[in-house]
Amino acid sequence: MLKVNNINVYYGAIHAIKGVSLEVKEGAIVTLIGANGAGKSTILKTISGLLRPKTGEIVYEGKKLNTMEAQDIVRSGVCQVPEGRRVFANMSVLENLELGAFLRKDKVQIKEDLEKVFEKFPRLKERMTQLAGTLSGGEQQMLAIGRAMMSRPRLMLLDEPSMGLAPLLVKEIFSIIKEINLSGTTILLVEQNAHMALSIANYAYVLETGKIVLEGPAKELAESEQVKKAYLGG
């Protein structure tokens, strides 16, 4: 479904991503794990069109994302839940969800999807008219995920959804990600929390300072000595 072919991404002179290739198969949960500063967010931003690779290409269902505008990438079904949630704090929960459906014109289905989001996150329904900035961290993460669902993505990119959340909430968020996947959305999940990520993913990549150093089925990686040592606390 998505193929990243040997991309190089720079911030000015800083060479942040050094020849990364990865693949996400339709229906899968693929995870990209790595330490802080490894370049995980840079890869997701490049897929979403916020950054351009200097060389290499990103192909999604035959379309070259690396030459497309961010809005066309969203329109073609790739949506991102960014690191740090990035909800519009000065707008209501409902307005945030409506912005998720910004490119859609099918009013009836938008309403249905809104109901689906509220079913999944009843707390968002209770806080519908509240400003997003007043929500707790966990609720903001739910809002960010709900907002992404509102675009009816076929591929959802999630950037560290567990960041800063209590263990119980992390569990909840991960089971929701699993549910979203089961209902037909392919997932590319970026995490520092390797343990949780590997437990729900089918396939995994390990990123270190801008390079993929290891890849394989998530179960195998979870057993590998190298991963255990570096990412699973021994």
Ligand X SMILES: Nc1ncnc2c1ncn2[C@@H]1O[C@H](COP(=O)(O)OP(=O)(O)O)[C@@H](O)[C@H]1O
Binding-site ranges for another protein (CB under 8 A): 45, 48-50, 69-71, 74-75, 79-80, 82, 86-91, 95, 98-100, 102-103, 147, 151
CA pair distance 182, 200, nearest whole angstrom = 11
Among 6, 27, 37, 112, binds ligand X (CB under 6 A): 37
Site for ligand X (CB under 6 A): how many residues? Answer: 11
CA pair distance 200, 219, nearest whole angstrom = 9
Q: Which residues are bridge partners to 188 per DSSP?
A: 30, 157
Q: Report the partner that residue 153 touches, choosing among Mg ion, ligand X, another protein, none (CB closer than 5 to 8 A by kind).
A: none
Q: Considering only residues 29-88, where is the footprint of Mg ion by CB under 5 A? A: 41, 83
Output the DSSP codes for 125-138.
HHTTTSBGGGS-HH
Q: Is 38 in the site for ligand X (CB under 6 A)?
A: yes
Q: Considering only residues 70-129, where is the footprint of ligand X by CB under 6 A? A: none
Q: Is 48 in the site for ligand X (CB under 6 A)?
A: no
CA pair distance 76, 101, nearest whole angstrom = 13
Q: Report the partner that residue 88 touches, choosing among another protein, ligand X, Mg ion, none (CB closer than 5 to 8 A by kind).
A: another protein
Q: How many CB atoms lie within 10 A of CB 227?
A: 21
Q: Is 138 in the site for ligand X (CB under 6 A)?
A: no
Helix 107-120 vs helix 137-149: crossing angle, to nearest 10 = 150
CB of 174 to ligand X, least distance (A): 19
Question: Between β-strands 14-24 and 211-217, what pairing exists: parallel, antiparallel or unpaired?
Answer: unpaired
Residues that bind ligand X (CB under 6 A): 11, 14, 16, 34, 36-42
Residues that bind Mg ion (CB under 5 A): 41, 83
